[in-house]
Amino acid sequence: MSKKQCCRPFKPVQHPTFAQILIMRNLVTFAALAALLTTSCNSQEETTTSETAEMSNNTPAPAPQSSLGEAGTQKLMAVVSDYYSLKDALVATNAQQADEATTKFMATVDSMKSYLSTDSTSSQALMPYLDTLSMGSKQIVLVKDETTEQKRIHFEKVSDAMFGMLRAADLRNAGVYRQYCPMAFNDKGAYWLSDVTDIKNPYFGKKMLECGEVTDSL
């Protein structure tokens, strides 16, 4: 090996100065603080979003309203509730349960009639529907039919009168869904009311439980 090849000029190792060390330490500290602040901000944002969603979920739904005022609307909703019981009995194809629910429904309808006797304006608008509800309900009870097929014929009239009455009373915020089955009564079609959007067909029961669609809501 030649002398020129093995002998290279000596370069001393350059150590960082105190100022450079201080700058590097400051940069590391700054980066750590920035990461901490970012994590904290993200956490606060997630908490705020979560709290907002929770507040939204806990916001109570608006109460049902109608042209009858608060007391009259409560009476009206009692009629709706007992109608649902009758509808559910027909969904279950249970004649005895249907008769019991209809008897209770008739009493609630009579109570609504008595309440409206002091309100001539509302009585004039709603009484024809209430009379139809009374007559249709009586027919449901009078028909002795364990299959509930004949009871369902009268239930259709009750359902149509119910929707007409609720519309005449300007019912809203009530979560009432009008549903329709085009195949009921040999494809003539028929309506009913429900408190849920899921289809539970009272005209077919288990035969075609989910046959139908939502057509309107109150």
pLDDT tens, position by position, 17-33 = 655 555 655 555 555 55
Candidates 89, 106, 109, 107; CA nearest to 98 is 89
Instruction: Give this prediction's pTM.
Output: 0.73
User: Could you give the CA distance from residue 131 to residue 26 in angstroms, rounded to a whole number?
Assistant: 87
206 in a domain, yes or no?
Answer: yes
pLDDT beyond 90 at 135: yes
Task: State yes or no: pLDDT of 159 exceeds 90.
Answer: yes
**Lookup: tokens for 198:** 């899921």
Min mean pLDDT across 43-57, 140-154, 181-195 is at: 43-57
Give percent above pLDDT 90 in the chain.
Answer: 66
For 214, phi and psi rounded to 5 degrees? Answer: -80, 130
Considering only CA atoms, give the Rg of the chain: 36
Side-by-side strand order, sheet with 190-194: 190-194, 177-181, 213-217
On whether residue 61 sits in a domain, the answer given is no
Q: What is the pLDDT of residue 47?
A: 45
The separation between CA 164 and the C-alpha centre of its own chain, rounded to angstroms, equals 22
The mean pLDDT of 2-23, rounded to a whole number, is 50
The reply to whether 31 falls in a domain is no
Secondary structure, 3-state, 78-100: HHHHHHHHHHHHHHCCCHHHHHH
8 pLDDT band, cuts 50/70/90, is: very low
Residue 15 domain-assigned?
Answer: no
Residue 187 resides in a domain = yes
**Parent domain of 88:** 69-217
Q: For 84-88, what is the mean pLDDT? A: 98
Reduce the DSSP state of residue 185 to 3 states and report it: helix
Residue 166 lies inside a defined structural domain of this protein:
yes
Query: What's the confidence (pLDDT) of residue 20?
Result: 58
> Which pLDDT does position 21 carry in this prediction?
53
Render pLDDT for 163-178 as a digit per residue (tens, 0 to 9): 999 999 999 999 999 9
Q: How many independent structural domains does the chain possess?
A: 1
Backbone angles phi and psi of 189, in degrees to 5: 90, 150
Residue 11 lies in a domain: no
